Structure 1
Amino acid sequence: MKIFRISVALFAAATWVGAAAAQDAKPTPKPPATPAPEAKPAPKPAAAPKPATPAAAAPAGAEQPLLLGQYGDWGAYKATPGGKIVCFALAKPANAVTEPVGRKRDQSYLFISSRPAEKVKHEISTIVGYPQRTGGDTAATVGTASYTMYAQSDAAWLKNPAEETQMIDAMRKGQDIVIKSTSSRGTKSTDSYSLKGLAQALDKVEQECK
């Protein structure tokens, strides 16, 4: 069976609206761009070209994903690249740590996306904010359960797609997920994502992406 993965660099767009924004009485300033996922074939051999970066993959005038709702720390989005519906839940880490301390990197994100036309539901991926170590894996932990993620460039996907249903169930019931990775320079990162609101965001994604 062909494995479908997420390209974490379709275009820079969409509005990231944090929970704090809903509590702020002041007019909301124009938010920064947020990357959105699209379908991606299974990784090719090492000789294949590297996947595009978020900036490079943002075509001029690309359609912006629509924010369907903000649920706790998670946003639910919908987009129609090429006329095909893509819905996804997206979060930024509540806490991000690097070792050595203070080592700079780009913003990290965690995606859970669905693409009805491809019969893909709740596909998990992450952007870690730097090129990862070649041949290395990224580790995700939800409670006492651990999962291995396939690392490629600055992104990672669940290595065994058969575990996605189990992992999604654990995330729906859990309080947080911790993702650890190592950069090509040896920098180690630990991103902790709150799972508050995830269940509601996924319910919205399911509703919009039937």
Structure 2
Amino acid sequence: MFVRKLTTALAIVMACAGAASAQSPTRIQQFNAWGAYSYQAGAGKVCYVLSVPKEKTPASVDHGDIFFLVSQRPGQNISYEPQAMMGYPLQENSKVTVTIDDKSFVMFTKGNSAWVENAAEEPALVAAMKNGKAMSVAAKSRKGTATNYSYSLSGISAALKQIESCK
């Protein structure tokens, strides 16, 4: 089941990155809850780490496939960009909140994804992920359902180190 979810995630990540001419992603290594991946896109390489939630609430709804990832796209000058990907459309103009221990970060939404609202806070979010104990993501579906996801941060530092030299 985990492999199927990751295969779906890889396809979604490639589609969202505009990688129509990209090759299939390669799993570099799994680090506990976080996997490191890469693929060739045009003239550049894209590397990212990805995890799935360990808990989803409310339990009574179909969440689809949910992922949190941090990507490196050196060819586009993008370094450590966090992104939440939901298995459903998010409510228009809503915000997604990522909470790591006692720090919160606000993400803007488009379609079924969310990115850090203030790009200058991306390094702080990644640093909090590396040093944190618990991470949760709160979102609202297009239908208005409040959802929450809990992620393990076990392995995030090693996975990010693995994609550090992405070129």
Do Structure 1 and Structure 2 share a fold, with TM-score over 0.5?
yes
Q: Are 1:129 and 2:103 an aligned pair? A: no
d(CA) in 1 for partners of 2:90 and 2:76?
28
Quote how far apart the aligned CAs of 1:105 are.
2.5
- Higher share of residues assigned helix: 2
1:102 is matched with 60
d(CA) in 2 for partners of 1:58 and 1:117?
13
Quote how far apart the aligned CAs of 1:109 are.
0.1
1:22 is matched with none
Please give the residue correspondences for 1:1-210 in structure 2 after superposition, counting only pairs within 5 Å. Answer: 31-32=4-5, 33-36=7-10, 37=13, 63-98=23-58, 101-207=59-165, 209-210=166-167
TM score, norm. by length of structure 2:
0.89
Quote how far apart the aligned CAs of 1:145 are.
0.4
Listed one character per residue, the Cα deviations across residues 69-123 of structure 1 (whole Å, up to 9, x for unaligned) are: 000100000111213100000000011112xx41113110001000111221100
d(CA) in 1 for partners of 2:72 and 2:156?
14
Look up the equivalent residue of 1:96 and give its one-letter code. Answer: K
d(CA) in 1 for partners of 2:28 and 2:22?
18
Tell me which structure has the larger Cα radius of gyration.
1
Quote how far apart the aligned CAs of 1:58 are.
8.6
Find runs of 4+ consecutive structure 1 residues off by over 4 angstroms.
none
Instruction: Provide the secondary structure at the position in 2 that maps to 1:206.
Output: coil
Quote how far apart the aligned CAs of 1:35 are.
2.4
Look up the equivalent residue of 1:133 and give its one-letter code. Answer: Q
- Stretches of structure 2 that go unaligned for 5 or more consecutive residues are none
- Stretches of structure 1 that go unaligned for 5 or more consecutive residues are 1-15, 18-30, 39-51
Quote how far apart the aligned CAs of 1:142 are.
0.5
d(CA) in 2 for partners of 1:185 and 1:146?
24
TM score, norm. by length of structure 1:
0.71
Aligned residues: 163
Quote how far apart the aligned CAs of 1:53 are.
7.8
> Using a 3 Å threshold, how does the CA distance of structure 1 residues 169 and 58 change in structure 2: closer, same or farther?
closer
Listed one character per residue, the Cα deviations across residues 151-175 of structure 1 (whole Å, up to 9, x for unaligned) are: 1111100101100111111110112
Quote how far apart the aligned CAs of 1:127 are.
0.7
Percent identity between the two aligned chains: 29
Segment drifting more, 154-163 vs 77-86: 77-86
